């Protein structure tokens, strides 16, 4: 239950409290925001909360808007709202919880720990708060342990693991990994995953070791030519970490049914965020890795902000991998993710990135190509900007709503592209794509009905020789009734809104 008092009075002062009628209007907009949030209409919820705040800025309204921002992965905006809520009412427990929940995915573990401790102190009976505190403490210990192990280990696990000693037991009834990957094996794997079955652990490890070697041989910027024939094209797909549930695994299969499986004549570029937030991310990312190994020159994969240890711990991929396999497989995935390329350039004209552009002017494709990417994403720099930034409608650069990267305007896009196109992913769009910045910036999102909740369409883009984008929209397909987010922690609010 929410407090019946008006916490903003602490900061505003009694003489400046709005009239009762104004407060009632603000409360009405807050209630509409709560309903929109429950219906997963996140942008609309933010609008309602913003109107309520403009009428009467209370801790409750700011904390509720922080909850909406967290669900939108706008962690920077959530931090501002939660901090403002605390300044308005230092006793409002949900504000500390929301601030901790925004700091956690950003990797600000000590800041999150401090707020979770405050929440537990204020509400010692809350099992949810204690669970979050325990998770944060565990993440800090794991980070310290991983650093210690890495400093002692001279070579990465992928270079020392003994795959040959592993035995495929006779009870395994799935496809067997051939010496040379083929389209037939690719189809067998898809069918195996559709039936809810896993590949043998040995084969998964072999695939991860092979794909890491392949990625490590590539530059940070891929330069992708189109084939020479008249109808040559490439298909660009946005976030498939939208493949968060088994339903969205079926949505990926639906893309291939509509557009054909990858081949020499049907190349694909997948623009990051393959994992997290669901229960079948492992099947999705393994499918893409197998396709890349089968057609190394015609399947291209870029890194998104969810291909990182911290996001995988919080949003479910690590839990999923450890449930289905073990720590060894997860360590190998982390090594592979560190070698994923960061950007691509099609026909030297269309630049594809997961996030966006940079804090500084004058960045060239050659600068991107030379980025040392074999690491976890840093909090600042070219690599961070490529994975986290977002476009804004007005000129210039602004702070990132996510807390990492920046917001960049149409003038920044124009200066970087010099009259070329930019393709990005990173954000849910109702129609599956959005064209902005004087048609120089396209956001494409290939996960329909995101997380089984958002109701958005998915889309992918065809680029032919003229390099004019041609969009293909699609909706979610039917799937078995399996709960999404089975391995992810609850990133929502304490005790509801």
Q: Which residues are catalytic?
A: 306
d(CA 62, CA 489): 23
243 three-class SS: coil
The secondary structure of residue 157, as a DSSP letter, is: G
Specify whether the CB–CB gap between 458 and 448 falls below 8 A.
Answer: yes
| First and final C-alpha spacing in the chain | 8
Specify whether the CB–CB gap between 48 and 26 falls below 8 A.
Answer: no
Sheet harboring 406-408: ordered strands across?
Answer: 390-391, 406-408, 397-399
Specify whether the CB–CB gap between 88 and 59 falls below 8 A.
Answer: yes
Specify whether the CB–CB gap between 384 and 378 falls below 8 A.
Answer: yes
For residue 424, list its beta bridge partners.
443
Query: What does residue 345 show for φ and ψ, rounded to 5 degrees?
Result: -130, 115
d(CA 310, CA 107): 6
Residue among 299, 287, 285, 378 at smallest CA distance from 337: 285
Specify whether the CB–CB gap between 347 and 236 falls below 8 A.
Answer: no
For residue 320, list its beta bridge partners.
none
């Amino acid at each position: 239950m929410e407090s019946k008092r008006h916490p903003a009075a602490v900061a505003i002062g009694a003489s400046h409290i709005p009239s009762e009628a104004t407060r009632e209007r603000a409360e009405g907009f807050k209630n509409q925001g709560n309903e929109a949030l429950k219906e997963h209409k996140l942008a609309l919820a933010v609008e309602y909360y913003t109107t309520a705040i403009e009428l009467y800025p209370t801790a409750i309204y700011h904390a509720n808007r922080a909850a909406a921002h967290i669900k939108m992965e706008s962690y920077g905006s959530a931090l501002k709202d939660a901090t403002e809520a605390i300044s308005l009412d230092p006793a409002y427990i949900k504000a500390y919880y929301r601030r901790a929940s925004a700091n956690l995915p950003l990797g600000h573990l000590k800041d999150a720990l401090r707020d979770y401790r405050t929440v537990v102190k204020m509400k010692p009976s809350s099992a949810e708060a204690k669970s979050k505190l325990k998770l944060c403490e565990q993440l800090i210990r794991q980070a310290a342990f991983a650093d210690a192990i890495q400093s002692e280990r001279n070579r990465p696990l992928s270079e020392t693991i003994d795959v040959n000693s592993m035995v495929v037991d006779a009870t395994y009834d799935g496809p067997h990994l051939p010496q040379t990957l083929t389209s037939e094996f690719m189809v067998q794997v898809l069918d195996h995953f559709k039936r809810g079955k896993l590949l043998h652990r040995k084969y998964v490890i072999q695939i991860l070791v092979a794909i890491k070697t392949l990625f490590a041989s590539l530059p940070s910027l891929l330069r992708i030519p189109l084939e020479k024939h008249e109808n040559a094209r490439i298909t660009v797909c946005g976030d498939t970490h939208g493949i968060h549930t088994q339903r969205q695994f079926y949505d990926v299969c639906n893309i291939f049914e509509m557009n054909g499986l990858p081949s020499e004549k049907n190349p694909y570029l997948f623009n990051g965020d393959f994992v997290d937030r669901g229960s079948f991310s492992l099947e999705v990312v393994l499918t893409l890795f197998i396709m890349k190994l089968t057609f190394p020159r015609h399947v291209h994969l870029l890194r998104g902000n969810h291909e990182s240890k911290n996001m995988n711990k919080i949003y479910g991929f690590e839990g999923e991998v450890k449930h289905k396999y073990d720590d060894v497989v997860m360590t190998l995935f982390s090594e592979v993710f560190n070698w994923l390329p960061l950007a691509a350039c099609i026909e030297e004209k269309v630049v594809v990135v997961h996030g966006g552009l940079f804090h500084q002017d004058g960045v060239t494709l050659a600068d991107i190509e030379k980025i040392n990417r074999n690491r976890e994403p840093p909090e600042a720099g070219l690599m961070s900007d490529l994975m986290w930034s977002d476009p804004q409608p007005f000129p210039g650069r602004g702070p990132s709503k996510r807390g990492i990267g920046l917001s960049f305007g149409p003038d920044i896009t124009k200066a970087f592209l010099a009259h070329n196109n930019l393709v990005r992913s990173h954000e849910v769009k109702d129609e599956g794509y959005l064209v902005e910045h004087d048609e120089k910036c396209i956001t494409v999102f290939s996960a329909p009905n995101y997380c089984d909740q958002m109701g958005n369409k998915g889309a992918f883009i065809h680029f032919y020789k003229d390099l004019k984008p041609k969009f293909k929209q699609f909706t979610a397909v039917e799937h078995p009734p399996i709960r999404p987010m089975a391995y992810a922690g609850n990133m929502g609010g304490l005790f509801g809104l």
